Amino acid sequence: MGKILACRDVGVDCDVVLHGKDEADIMRQAAAHAKSCHNNVQVTPQLQAKLRSLIRDEGGSCCGGSTCG
Ligand SMILES: [Zn+2]
C-alpha cells in the first residue's frame, strides 16, 4: 500500500494529492511540488515535520474513508 498527502491538508488552497510508495517518496514529491506550485512556501524542518504528520496510507484508513463512523 502506498502513501498519500493532500496538499490541502497542509493548509494551502490546492487540490493536488501526492501519491508515493513510501514516506520518503512523498517528501521528495512534496519538495518538488512546493517548488513548482508554491513558490512562496519554504519547506522548513517545521513544515517537513508537519507534512510527515499529514501523510496517510493510500486506500483509506479508519476515519479516512466513508465507511467509518
Ligand atoms: Zn499544492
21-64 pLDDT, tens digit per residue, is 999 999 999 999 999 999 888 889 999 999 999 999 987 555 55
Q: How far is ligand 1, taken at its centre, from the CA of residue 62, in Å?
A: 25
pLDDT at residue 42, rounded to an integer: 87
Q: How far is ligand 1, taken at its centre, from the CA of residue 5, in Å?
A: 10
pLDDT in tens, 2-23: 999 999 999 999 999 999 999 9
Q: How far is ligand 1, taken at its centre, from the CA of residue 66, in Å?
A: 24
Can you tell me the distance from the alpha carbon of 53 to that of 36, in angstroms, rounded to the nearest whole number? 22
Exposure pattern of 33-56 as b/e (b: 16+ CB <10 Å)? bbeeebeebebeeebeeebeebbe
pTM of the model: 0.80
pLDDT at residue 59, rounded to an integer: 77
pLDDT at residue 67, rounded to an integer: 55
